[in-house]
Amino acid sequence: MALDANAMKKLVAEVAVDRYVKDGMSVGLGTGSTAKFMIERIGELVKQGYDLTCTATSVQSEELARSLGIKVVDLDEIDHLDVTIDGADEVDPGMQLIKGLGGALLREKIVAAATINEIIIADESKLVEKLGTKAPLPVEVLRFGHEHTRYALERQGCKATLRMKDGEPFVTDGGNYIYDCKFEAIEKPFFLESRIDVIPGVVENGLFLNTAFDVLIAKADGTVESMADSLAKKEE
């Protein structure tokens, strides 16, 4: 019987934790519906006696982790993270990513940069041939002059929509706004990233390029594929 979306998320989250999290590690906790299952599995390991020091990519993940008895510290209290496990909104064949539909892209990118091995967990619905074909690209911007920032974003070839929540602009944990930028497809992600990053008012973008050490993909048939392993076999 084929797994539903929730079952796939739970499966890949638990496989990632059991494969990559070892006793004594410092661990980054991602954000989102798939990462929730990962945090719950880490909570089980802590109950079994694992000594883990964790940092979270969002207030939401931090609160969940603390409720499960997980030790959560500020990122600046540790010099690096051994592993971070987080979700993604799109994954292309080269393990390049779009993240940020959950609104935590800024903290997610800072945590990823402090991590030795960034592990991405997703179900097969997140696989795309080219980034931007399914999901919009989230871009976090300062509130000041954000309409002018939107205009500059749209000059890159997208339709930029201010993210709303309950009739008001969505505000990130960093106090900023997010524009969801819809492209037909992102043909040159590295070039686009450099173009977006120089726009005044942009805080961070949701392109996570050359970030993932491995991407684990859950499939409806109950299997989990390591994209890193698959790419390594192709190169042999």
Supply the residues annotated as catalytic.
Answer: 108
- Cα(152)–Cα(200) distance, rounded to whole angstroms? 9
Cα–Cα distance measured from residue 117 to residue 114, given in angstroms and rounded to the nearest whole number: 9
Burial annotation 49-64 (CB, 10 A radius, 16+ → b, else e):
ebebbbbbbbebbbeb
The three-class DSSP label of residue 81 is strand
Name residue, tokens 């960034």: 118
- Helix, strand, or coil (residue 138): strand
Residue 64 CA to residue 52 CA, distance in Å, equals: 15
Closest to 163 (Cα-Cα) out of 175, 176, 177: 177
3-state helix, strand, coil in the chain (%, to 5): 35, 25, 40
